[in-house]
Structures are given as C-alpha cells and as structure tokens.
Amino acid sequence: MTLVSASKAAGLREVDAPHSLVAHFGAEHPLQMDAGISFSPLTIAYQTYGALNADKSNAVLVCHALTGDQHVANDHPITGKPGWWQTMVGPGRPIDTDRYFVISSNVVGGCMGTTGPASLNPTTGRPYGLDLPIVTIRDMVRAQAMLIDHLGIDTIFCVVGGSMGGMQVLQWVASFQERVFAAMPIATAAKHSSQNIAFHEVGRQAVMADPDWRRGRYLEEGVIPTKGLAVARMAAHITYLSDEALQSKFGRKLQGRVAPTFSFDAEFQIENYLRYQGMSFVDRFDANSYLYVTRACDYFDLAADYDGSLALAFKGAKTRFCVVSFNSDWLYPTAASRAIVHALNAGGASVSFVDIETDRGHDAFLLNIPEFIATSRGFLDAAARARGLPPAKTRAS
C-alpha cells in the first residue's frame, strides 16, 4: 500500500504502528472538535510510567510541547535518544515514577501514533492530509480527558507541561477544574501573541512553499517537503533559545576553520547547528503535523472563551497552581506567566509563581536547571502531602 511505504520512507512508521500503548475510540465515542466536527475514529498513543495506586489518586499527566511526544522518559523510537523530560520524570525525579503514575499522550494532530494528518482516513483510504479538521488546544485536552476516562481515572493529581504543554495545562483547569488537583504550567502563555503567530506563519509558509508539499498530499505521491520543513524548524529553533545562550554557545565562532572563507557555506558554528536542527527534525516529524500543531497554538486564547476575562476561566478552581517562567524566555516571556498569575489571583486560586533566572531562553524547561528542578520537586511534594499520598522513598544519595 502506498501509504505505508510513503510514511515509512518519511520515517513516519510511528504513525501507523507506534511503539506505545494505544486507545481507540470509535463512532460511538467521537471527539467533539472546536471546528464543529464530531470526529471519529480516534486513536490516542500514550506512554505510562510507574503504577496507579489503589484509589487512583496519584496520576500525573504530562502534556508535551509543539514537536514533543509521549516519549517523556524512555528512549525515542525513531531517534534512539533519551526521553525529552528525563530531567523531570523518573525514579527520584520531581515527577517521581516511584510515587506517581505518569501518563503522557501524543496530541491530536501529532505524528507519533495519535490520529493526525499522516494517519489513514478510513473513509478515503488515503492519509487525511489537510482533510483533518483544524485541531485546537481544547481539542487536544478533550482527547486527553477521553484517555483519562478510558484509564478509569477521575481526578488527576497533577497536570504539567511546558510551552504548548503549558497551554494544555491551563485548558485542563478551565475545562475540567474539578478533575485537576494540581497544575504546573511552565514557560507558557494564556494566548498566542501576534509575534508568536507571526513566527508560526513563517514556518507554515516555508512548508507550503516547498513544491514537494503537494498541497498536503506528499505521502501519497511518495515525496516529502524536507527542505521547507527544515527551514521552518530553523526559524522556530531561534525562538527557543535566548540571544545570550546563542552568544555564549556559538558567538561568532567559525565551524572547523580558523579564518573566514568568504562563502555561503556554513561558515559559522551557529549556521551549522541550525542546519543540523533542520535536517534532523525532518527525520522524525511530519510536515502536515507541523502545520496542525502550530495552528493549534495560534488559535489559543483562553480568555476569549470567557468574555475576554482570563480570571473567569479559572473561577472557582480549587486547583493548586505553580506557574514557572524563565527570565530569558522571549517566546513566552515572564510577563505572559505573570498575566496567568494575576488571573489566578483574581479568581482566588492557590498559586505560587517562580521566575527562574537563567540565560537559556525558552528551552530552559527541557534542561537540568537546579532551581527549576528544585521548584518542581518542592511544589509536587507539598501537593502530594495535601493529596494524602505517601512520602517518597528514601533514596541513597
């Protein structure tokens, strides 16, 4: 079948046969999407770590960022690299898999096993491509709630995530406040700014400008818009790092030479690095998925669903919040987190707010930054006590 071979050629074998648990939802249990469509069938691919306790009170839901996935704390099935959040999730880590039952699912619109544009549309026998309805952050959260129901869990101990994952955290509380005991939105915003939309639009235009995109039908035609997707990733990647981080890591250092050669080669290390980021990305990510997940962020404006009042989105929530920002994050800057905190305060929620000082920029939430790790541990430990969970095992240090 053309589909399978084409998606395999694209390194997208995870679309069809993910190295994950999967939950299937048929026509009797459709996903009600913001685009006005009652969507089925839906497959959700997910990973779990640790064990659910008897009263099902120790579940932690980790929501992934734009191009992340459910492989939080295990080696990635395509790249072979360690899970993307092993600094935070694992035995003895803040999200302690000896204490908590950790769940992470690939978002709707993704390409790691959950239904997305590369998935087979059973009606046509072809990949959905752009026939998949536009996905919103709320749709992603609705799908996660279906998974949580499927797992028989009523209340999640903590919903946590950075960047687009943080948007899902906020949406979880807005949509299902009684089901979220604690929440950690990290390096995120309650709405996508004009500049955020602008960078995403550049990425989408880069993909769509590639003639191999074929109006989204590339998988059937046996091609992949690798060049466009790589350019999109390069542009986005700049926004994930701070000016200072780039300066200290690369500066104006030349790549493998002592003097400039006066050419268009990757003369500077930063150029080589970006080209590598672009090229390696296309091996693991579907171009149409990139369009969907960026679009989902662009549509995110939580207050807009509550008459423009973010405080109303959180009104009455008993959820304990820990809002985390990084002072050198210019993609979702500290001010965006502060706006969330103000809204939570206005709604009378329990909230602590930590702005972590680092020069690492937005991607700091993926790094082993001691203050961030300690903050997360402290918040989760206190929440666990309040939830009546047994204390952490004593570990040999």
- Catalytic residue positions? 163, 329, 362
Rounded to whole angstroms, the Cα distance separating 173 from 344 reads 11
Name the minimum Å distance from CB 10 to a second copy. 17
Answer for which of 238, 312, 346, 373 binds a second copy (CB under 8 A) is 238
Answer for which of 40, 155, 193, 255 binds a second copy (CB under 8 A) is 193
DSSP 296-350: HHHH-BGGGGGTT-HHHHTTT---EEEEEEETT-SSS-HHHHHHHHHHHHHTT-E
Using omega within 30 degrees of 0 as the cis cutoff, is the peptide bond preceding 133 cis? Answer: no
Rounded to whole angstroms, the Cα distance separating 298 from 86 reads 28
Rounded to whole angstroms, the Cα distance separating 312 from 317 reads 10
Residue 299 interacts with a second copy (CB under 8 A): yes or no: yes
Q: Give the tokens for residue 224.
A: 């992949």
Residue 374 interacts with a second copy (CB under 8 A): yes or no: no
Name the minimum Å distance from CB 208 to a second copy. 8
Rounded to whole angstroms, the Cα distance separating 362 from 358 reads 10
Residues with Cβ < 8 Å from 248, sequence gap 6 or more? 359
The pattern of x and - marking residues 248 through 277 that bind a second copy according to CB under 8 A reads -xxxx-------x-xxx-xxx-xx--xx--
Answer for which of 5, 38, 124, 205 binds a second copy (CB under 8 A) is 205
Q: Which is nearer to a second copy, 358 or 376 (CB)?
A: 358
Q: First-to-last CA distance in the chain?
A: 53
Rounded to whole angstroms, the Cα distance separating 187 from 189 reads 7
Rounded to whole angstroms, the Cα distance separating 266 from 262 reads 11
Residue 204 interacts with a second copy (CB under 8 A): yes or no: yes
Binding to a second copy, residues 14-73 (CB under 8 A): 34-36
Name the minimum Å distance from CB 149 to a second copy. 25
User: Under rule CB under 8 A, how many of the chain's residues touch a second copy?
Assistant: 58
Answer for which of 234, 341, 364, 389 binds a second copy (CB under 8 A) is 234
Q: Which is nearer to a second copy, 263 or 394 (CB)?
A: 263
Q: Which stretch binds a second copy (CB under 8 A): 2-10, 147-155, 203-211, 381-389?
A: 203-211
Output the CA–CA distances (angstroms, integers) from residue 139 to 21, 134, 174, 252, 297, in the order listed: 20, 9, 13, 43, 11
Rounded to whole angstroms, the Cα distance separating 335 from 94 reads 26
Rounded to whole angstroms, the Cα distance separating 164 from 145 reads 17
Binding to a second copy, residues 75-94 (CB under 8 A): none
Backbone angles phi, psi at 23, to 5 degrees: -120, 130
Q: Which stretch binds a second copy (CB under 8 A): 84-92, 94-102, 132-140, 168-176?
A: 132-140
Sign of the dihedral defined by the CA atoms of residues 67, 99, 94, 148, in that order:
positive
Contact 360, 246 (CB under 8 A): no
Answer for which of 94, 109, 116, 133 binds a second copy (CB under 8 A) is 133
Residue 339 interacts with a second copy (CB under 8 A): yes or no: no
H or E segment to which residue 59 belongs = strand 59-63
Residue 199 interacts with a second copy (CB under 8 A): yes or no: yes
Closest CA to 237 of 366, 373, 114: 366
Please give the biggest Cα pair distance in the chain. 66
Q: Which stretch binds a second copy (CB under 8 A): 140-148, 177-185, 229-237, 362-370?
A: 229-237
Q: Which is nearer to a second copy, 185 or 216 (CB)?
A: 216
Q: Which is nearer to a second copy, 250 or 306 (CB)?
A: 250
Rounded to whole angstroms, the Cα distance separating 284 from 2 reads 19
Q: Under the rule (CB under 8 A), what is the footprint of a second copy?
A: 34-36, 130, 133-134, 136, 191-195, 197-199, 201-202, 204-206, 208-211, 227-228, 230-231, 234-235, 238, 243, 246-247, 249-252, 260, 262-264, 266-268, 270-271, 274-275, 278, 291, 295, 298-299, 301, 304, 330, 333
